[in-house]
Amino acid sequence: MRIHALPIQLINQIAAGEVVERPASVVKELVENCFDAGASQILIEIEQGGTQLIKIRDNGCGIEKEDLPLALSRHATSKIATLQDLEQVMSMGFRGEALPSISSVARLTLISRVADADCAWRVTADGREQDFNPQPDPHPLGTTVDVRDLFYNTPARRKFLKAEKTEFAHIETLIKRMALSRFDIGFILQHNQREVFACRPASSDVDQAQRVASVCGSAFLDNAIAVDFEASGLQLTGWVGLPTFSRSQQDMQFFYVNGRLIKDKLVAHAIKQAYQDVLYHGRHPVFVLYLTLDPALVDVNAHPAKLEVRFREGRLVHDFLFTALHRSLASVRPTEQLQTSATVTTFYDPTSASATVTATYKASPTSSSYSSRPYQSSPQQSTLPLRVEEQVDAYAKLYHVSQPLSEQQPQALPPLGFAVAHLHNIYILSETPEGIILVDAHAAHERVTYERLKALYQQGAIASQPLLLPIKIIVSSAEADLAEQEQTFFLKLGFELSRTGPETVVLRAAPALFGQGDMEGLLRDVLSDIMAQGMSQRIQEKTNAVLASVACHGSVRAQRRLTIPEMNALLRDMEKTERSGQCNHGRPTWIALSKQELDKFFMRGQ
């Protein structure tokens, strides 16, 4: 066949194949036009999942009568005029493809009125970009786009649509995501003449929080950290969920760039890295985040549906996002999570001299005097653990504070309270003015040790302690190869070891942080973990994973009875340690029960 020009309608149908995937795609394009029109209220009416009707009405600036035919023509727009405009796009839509593409695969009617017009004007379109005949209409200020019988003339496209319920679910999810991008706009979503979602413009912080709660659930804000971070011309605001408030799916992740909802691999990687050692395996974080930057630094024209963007300085953006979220997650301490009263939190400072003394945790199961005999309690009141009020003076004596805390500030207690018992040789029971705290001793000590190791490693200062007698250890040949090849790296971790045979290594020094515990067992566990991870790159590039392994195997073990001073020292360490709410594997380290919750268990006051 000879080369020939394609008909305009066919060209628009081809374009529609890129822009209009399903009814939700039409809704997205039309609602974005409402944003650009300066609307403060948007009504979305859907029938039969969007296949029969999609009607979008806004109260924006409207379209002039003379411009209505152009609005329905390809590559006609009011939003860009030069290449420079394209390189720093400020609007949501800008290519002039949406309306002609939609009209080529549906029956489209466009009605619009500007502020100084006597009436509105209505036109219909079929994608041919001709025979426009504007007719007067009583429509108020703003624009309505009425889309009926989607894919009526492309049956092959229509048969790929899902059930009505499924298609509307995509639309509902989209509108809720878009509602989070523009708090200044009110939204009403109807399906089959029934209101499904509605929200008024949200100007105050309280109203905005309510909108977030209406989309993500109230539990999200109760378990979220507010983010407000700015550097290098970039700003990140919003909320990120605590690591313990995670989901099995990625269905509550909302990320906006200059108000545009996007999905980006670079962004996803930065967020994943920020959560990497606080999130439980297989879980996904929850977040609502807004990145603001110079429009010239981001290309929003990288995808036909504008779902992806391309950052001009990707490494800068990646590092900025990681740093902002990493610091935000690290800043959470028990004090903030417990939201204790001012009388409790104003005085206690975990970095003060009264909190700097820490007990030495030993991994050996026989190192505690409690481990060789069963725990005994006496019915006599005098031998029971002290109550919190009585422990204030005991705490002062334990940490050698010259003036009792009770005299310095009434009821001035640390956030995690004081230990009263070690349950099942696993859990620390602590009493606070608000209720009780249960702590997984191993998980908590693992996080404390891990954060110390990371800080020391970054400073190049992990102290090594020579063993009284070198320990000869039989390992596999692969483990012996690893120990021989990475001697320098192990030395930086505090292990001084050398290979003395095909399957033999000698350990001469170990990290001083772990005292005189089972150093042979610790090294075996670390070697085993490194081999199991099957690192294809040099293990120096996986330092945090190795440090986490060292911390896990070097932490206090379950079934090892802790003394009251040891438990209190661990609680104090948790209060001043970053990310102490989760162990290195993302499991929670402690939970709190208030007196009100305890009363409910026993139906007190009911």
Tell me the pLDDT band of 95, cut-offs 50, 70 and 90. low
pLDDT score for 339: 55
Comparing 531 with 466, the larger pLDDT belongs to 466
| 254 vs 343 pLDDT, higher one | 254
The Cβ of residue 23 has, within 10 Å, a number of other Cβ atoms equal to 28
**Between 132 and 176, whose confidence is greater?**
176
pLDDT in tens, 142-152: 999 999 999 98
Residue 588, pLDDT score: 87
| pLDDT for the residue 555 | 75
Burial class (CB in 10 A: 0-12, 13-18, 19+), 122: buried
Contact 453, 547 (CB under 8 A): yes
CA distances from 151 to 52, 67, 108, 118, 119 (A): 10, 26, 12, 35, 32
CA distances from 278 to 178, 284, 338, 419 (A): 29, 11, 19, 25
Q: Is 471 helix (H, G, I), strand (E, B) or coil?
A: strand
Q: Are 302 and 309 in contact (CB under 8 A)?
A: yes
As a whole-number percent, the residues of the chain with pLDDT over 90 amount to: 42
Q: Looking at residue 40, what is its pLDDT?
A: 97
Give the pLDDT of residue 533: 63
Identity of the amino acid at 531: M
Give, for 423, the enclosing helix (H) or strand (E): strand 418-423
pLDDT of residue 365: 30
- Average per-residue pLDDT for the chain: 81
Q: What is residue 443's DSSP assignment?
A: H
Is-contact 99 72, C-beta < 8 A?
yes
Residue 554: what pLDDT?
A: 75
Check residue 488 and give its pLDDT.
84
Average pLDDT over residues 377-403: 41
Q: Which of 420, 449, 416, 439 is nearest to 588 (CA)?
A: 439
For the ranges 358-372, 410-424, 562-576, which has the lowest average pLDDT? 358-372
Using pLDDT thresholds of 50, 70 and 90, give the confidence band for residue 557: low
Q: Which domains does the chain have, with CATH numbers?
A: 8-199 (3.30.565.10), 217-331 (3.30.230.10), 335-371+384-443+560-601 (3.30.1540.20), 462-554 (3.30.1370.100)
Instruction: State pLDDT tens for residues 276-300.
Output: 878 877 889 999 999 999 998 998 8
pLDDT above 90: residue 393: no
Instruction: Round to whole Å and give the CA distance between 179 and 211.
Output: 8
pLDDT reading at 381 higher than 50: no
The answer on pLDDT for 78 being more than 50 is yes
Give residue-wise pLDDT tens across range 202-227: 999 999 999 999 999 989 988 899 99
- Give the integer Cα–Cα distance in Å for 331 and 579: 7
Distance between CA atoms of residues 151 and 510, nearest Å = 71
Of residues 101 and 352, which shows the higher confidence score? 101
pLDDT band at 119 (very low <50, low <70, confident <90, very high): very high
Supply the pLDDT for residue 257.
94
Nearest to 300 by CA among 254, 264, 269: 264
More confidently predicted of 306 and 132: 132
The reported pTM is 0.71
Name the token pair of 90: 């400020």
596 residue type, one letter: Q
